[in-house]
Structure 1
Amino acid sequence: GARLVVARIIPTDTQHDALAPPRSHETSVAGQGDLDGLEKRAREAGVDASVILRHGVDRHQEIVAIAQEFKAGLLVIGRRERGELARLMMGDATRKVVGLAPCNVMVVPREAQAPHRGLLVGTDGSGLGDQAVLAAIELAGCCDLPLTIATVAVPGQSDDRRKEGVETVQRLQGEARERGLRTDATTEEGCPERALLDIAHRDRRDLIVLGSHGRTGLNRLLMGSVSERVIGGADCPVLVVKDV
């Protein structure tokens, strides 16, 4: 039911554009044609959609500016396929969009489908972890999909911290079930990002929800390594819930 704004950013190279204006014009025309096709598809699906074509030196800055301009509640960006080593971390542009965006961000790998099996949300027991779970509960209710709430204990973690993690997922599971959602809770042990990816595969969850630890200034670009590596390694969309 939300409005959809589809944006395409064409990188600007002032020197190159001045030397080859016909090529720059052709790129703009082709980009607008692609956008018009997407707008038509969206409207045929009953979605209120509009399109924007912009030029800019830094794509991430233009994307964030458009999100601010339209007061977006969710920003969706794609993720290119990369080699196994590169999949461990996000690309620099994606990291900057997630860090600077004024709203939640969903990163979608190439060939990924819209979620239809279920959601997985990871929490570390922090306030931001709770925000991520509440966002996942809301989304699971809208999409009528089952939800798995997970926390991962790292080796060497204290018994008190492990107990806190168990109590957290049980509390949040109770809140989800009060809303009538099909909800499971699980506590795993090991490397958090690997455990979350394994749970998603095992339980056939095709949307992962996580919190980001970005705040302000430079720190907004420093995501938690767990979120970053889950985004890099996931075969399904990952929704990053921002503390905004």
Structure 2
Amino acid sequence: MSDRFKVLIPTDFSDCARNALAHALYLTKRYDGEIHLLHAVELPTIAVTDMPPDMFDIEEERALERMEDLLEEHAVHQARTSRVHTAVRPGKPTEPAAEVILDYAEDAEIDMIVMGTHGRRGARRLLLGSVAEQVIRGAECPVFAVRETEKAWPLPSVDTILVPVDFSAGTDDVINEAIDLAGHYDAAIRLLHVVDIDTYPHYGIAVDPVIELAEKTAQAARKELEKIADRITVGHLAVFVSVERGHAASTISEYAVDCDVDLIVLGSHGRSGLDRLLLGSVAEKTLRMAHCPVVVVR
């Protein structure tokens, strides 16, 4: 069994998926990792009269040829090393693409999934119920989500990683993933806590006490962030700490733009918990609004 870092790139050959492949190839180079390129063929549940009996075989051959073209385009010659794997799997309404991707990730013991936020059907933003959202909420490993607007190649360097911190149970996992990525990218880390204005009720409370409570919360958050920063800087990574007030997702997205952030790493669920079948509202909104790729950690 290989102990290399395994990256799965689902592709439907859309521009967004091509951008995701470029990011994944750069990432696997940093990790000296293993590439798994996967395409799910959509097959009808009921046979069509003029549908060839070997339809999957035909589509599989086409998909493998297109995968080869993609890899050659990025100078990944499958020449053929054990570090590059291509696979085509059948998909149908009873087993949609997301399930095919998740099953493959589990079977191949994938360490990270890198995929576009939307595919050939198109969508202005990541929509609830899309393949990407279903994969993000179901994956056991981190998912690196790439927007269609991302530059495909050559990739911009990842110099700054933003880590929104809400001090929930999964915070350590998010921090550790960010540290790992920052080490491979040689990037600085920005820790951000947002004092969400929605958490402070205004009914029956004077303005001054609310402001005072928010200030105390911000001060306490900064102290906790500084403790985390002290732990991270032991590894000689540059770490910056910020506390902002506002709506969590929009504040995270605006901060990312203002600070020229190249990558956001955040948890799939926050302090509210939620069932594993749901994606936390802050994570979902950030995925929709962020100008850069987002890594979602369960």
Instruction: Please classify the TM superposition score into its range, dividing by the shorter chain length.
Output: 0.7 to 0.9
Deviation of 1:130 (Å)? 2.8
Q: What corresponds to 1:62 in structure 2?
A: 100
Q: Distance between the aligned counterparts of 2:48 and 2:140, measured in 1?
A: 31
SS in 2 for 1:166: helix
Contact 2:41 2:56 in 1 (8 A): no
Q: What corresponds to 2:175 in structure 1?
A: 133
Query: Which region of structure 1 is more displaced relative to structure 2, 228-237 or 184-193?
Result: 228-237
SS in 2 for 1:103: coil
2:164 to 114, 118, 122: 122
SS in 2 for 1:71: coil
The 1:55–1:44 alpha-carbon spacing in structure 2 relative to 1, beyond 3 Å, is closer
Query: Which region of structure 1 is more displaced relative to structure 2, 91-100 or 9-18?
Result: 9-18
SS in 1 for 2:59: helix
Contact 1:120 1:205 in 2 (8 A): yes
SS in 1 for 2:177: helix
1:192 to 242, 245, 248: 248
Q: Deviations over 1:168-215 (max 9, x none)?
A: 21111112211111111100000110111111111111110000129x
The 1:18–1:49 alpha-carbon spacing in structure 2 relative to 1, beyond 3 Å, is farther
SS in 1 for 2:275: helix
Q: Deviations over 1:49-74 (max 9, x none)?
A: 11101111210000000000111111
Contact 1:39 1:50 in 2 (8 A): no
Query: Which region of structure 1 is more displaced relative to structure 2, 226-235 or 38-47?
Result: 38-47
Higher helix share: 1
SS in 1 for 2:33: coil
Deviation of 1:43 (Å)? 3.6
SS in 2 for 1:14: coil
User: Does 1:48 pair with 2:104?
Assistant: no
SS in 2 for 1:219: coil
SS in 2 for 1:8: strand
Deviation of 1:91 (Å)? 4.4
Q: Deviations over 1:26-50 (max 9, x none)?
A: 5333211112223443347999211
The 1:91–1:236 alpha-carbon spacing in structure 2 relative to 1, beyond 3 Å, is farther
Q: What corresponds to 2:44 in structure 1?
A: 13
Between Structure 1 and Structure 2, how many residues are aligned?
236
Deviation of 1:236 (Å)? 1.4
Q: Distance between the aligned counterparts of 2:62 and 2:176, measured in 1?
A: 41
Kindly provide the amino acid, as one letter, of the partner of residue 93 in structure 1: V
Show structure 1 runs of 5+ residues with no match: none
Q: Distance between the aligned counterparts of 1:173 and 1:73, measured in 2?
A: 26
Q: Distance between the aligned counterparts of 1:108 and 1:75, measured in 2?
A: 11
Contact 2:117 2:126 in 1 (8 A): no
SS in 1 for 2:158: coil
Q: What corresponds to 1:92 in structure 2?
A: 130
Kindly provide the amino acid, as one letter, of the partner of residue 12 in structure 1: L
Q: Distance between the aligned counterparts of 2:221 and 2:44, measured in 1?
A: 50
Q: What corresponds to 2:61 in structure 1?
A: 29
SS in 2 for 1:97: helix
Q: What corresponds to 2:259 in structure 1?
A: 203
Q: What corresponds to 2:70 in structure 1?
A: 38
Contact 1:98 1:221 in 2 (8 A): no
Kindly provide the amino acid, as one letter, of the partner of residue 158 in structure 2: H
Task: Give the alignment's TM-score, normalised by structure 2.
Answer: 0.71
RMSD: 2.6
Deviation of 1:89 (Å)? 4.5
Query: Which region of structure 1 is more displaced relative to structure 2, 105-114 or 147-156?
Result: 105-114
Q: Distance between the aligned counterparts of 1:197 and 1:137, measured in 2?
A: 20
Structure showing greater radius of gyration is 2
Task: Give the alignment's TM-score, normalised by structure 1.
Answer: 0.86
SS in 1 for 2:170: helix
Identity %: 24
Kindly provide the amino acid, as one letter, of the partner of residue 140 in structure 2: P
Contact 1:154 1:190 in 2 (8 A): yes
Query: Which region of structure 1 is more displaced relative to structure 2, 97-106 or 8-17?
Result: 8-17
